[in-house]
């Protein structure tokens, strides 16, 4: 199957890929934390590619501080666009297939129908804009790529909404959570499984895909489900986005249609509540 390099290997998705790779007894993945392989350092990347001669490259490295990106535009663009271009160039030079992770934030979120891959991308934040720019530089350098847009990632690893809610649920009697932003939570273990299925099957259906769990919810209802399934007694109140101002604007509706992923990648996608229950069970174990 050849070697697979994982950039951003110490982050949430990188840790989930390690978890699923161990479950599937895949030993050909090399996990590279930022300190070891910064995607902005071309000399280091060139040496890494020369040493490993990867068949696949998974890019989990990203600037994801959505609000800070409004002030740190150059840094966000460096990681989310220029770093991706570095990887795409090297993948082309070595005949490697690039699997790149993008986001629902490339959309404006003004509609009310599930978003397909051909819908217009019109980001409303610097984070979303730089992630879109990262998507756009890939096909300019290589045709062997999979871009997976995902949303609302959480898992038992790193910092994320589920772990934050569980912590707040123990510390507070009442929480206020936004109810007028709709999307789909994605268990990063499921996304990792999709990525490794692409590699194991040697799928050649290159292109852009949407991948999140099934279903639709608001942040408020997501929080309610977390507390219900974890038996956490906390009063949860719905608030509008306008009552919780942030530096960056978020899409109000970013539910993605996964038909293309299910048919061309041959992956079964669980409902978000089912995956949430699995995650909470692992966190409690």
Write out the catalytic residue numbers.
Answer: 127
Taken in order 76, 82, 88, 91, the sign of the CA dihedral is: negative
Specify whether the backbone of 223 is left (phi greater than 0), alpha (psi in -120 to 50) or beta.
alpha
Rounded to whole angstroms, the Cα distance separating 107 from 249 reads 11
Q: Give the C-alpha separation, 116 to 260, whole Å.
A: 8
Long-range contacts of 74-81 (CB under 8 A, 24+ apart): 76/126, 76/127, 76/130, 77/130, 77/133, 78/40, 79/39, 79/40, 79/130, 80/127, 80/130, 80/131, 80/133, 80/134, 81/130, 81/133, 81/134, 81/137
Write the CA distances from 128 to 134, 145, 150, 180, integer angstroms.
10, 20, 12, 19
Residue position matching structure tokens 């697979």: 4
């Amino acid at each position: 199957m050849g070697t697979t390099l994982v950039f951003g290997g110490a982050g949430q998705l990188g840790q989930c890929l390690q978890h699923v790779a161990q479950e599937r007894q895949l030993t050909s993945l090399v996990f590279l934390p930022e300190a070891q392989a910064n995607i902005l350092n071309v000399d280091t990347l060139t040496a890494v590619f020369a040493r490993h001669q990867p068949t696949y490259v998974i890019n989990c490295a990203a600037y994801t501080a959505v609000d800070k990106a409004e002030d740190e535009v150059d840094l966000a663009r460096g990681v989310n666009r220029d770093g991706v271009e570095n990887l795409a160039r090297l993948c082309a030079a070595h005949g490697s297939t690039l699997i790149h992770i993008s986001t629902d934030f490339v959309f404006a979120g003004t509609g009310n129908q599930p978003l397909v891959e051909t819908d217009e991308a019109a980001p409303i934040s610097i984070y979303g804009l730089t992630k879109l720019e990262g998507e756009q530089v890939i096909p300019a350098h290589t045709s062997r790529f999979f871009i997976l847009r995902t949303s609302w990632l959480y898992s038992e690893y790193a910092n994320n909404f589920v772990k934050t809610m569980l912590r707040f649920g123990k510390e507070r009697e009442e929480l206020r959570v936004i109810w007028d932003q709709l999307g789909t939570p994605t268990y990063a273990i499921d996304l990792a499984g999709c990525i490794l299925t692409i590699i194991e099957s040697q799928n050649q259906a290159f292109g852009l895909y949407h991948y999140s769990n099934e279903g639709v919810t608001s942040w408020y209802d997501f929080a309610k489900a977390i507390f219900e399934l974890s038996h956490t007694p906390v009063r949860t109140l719905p608030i509008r986005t306008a009552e919780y101002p942030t530096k960056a604007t978020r899409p109000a509706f970013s539910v993605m249609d996964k038909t293309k992923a299910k048919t061309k990648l041959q992956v079964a996608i669980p409902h978000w509540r089912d995956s949430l229950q699995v995650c909470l069970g692992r966190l409690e174990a």
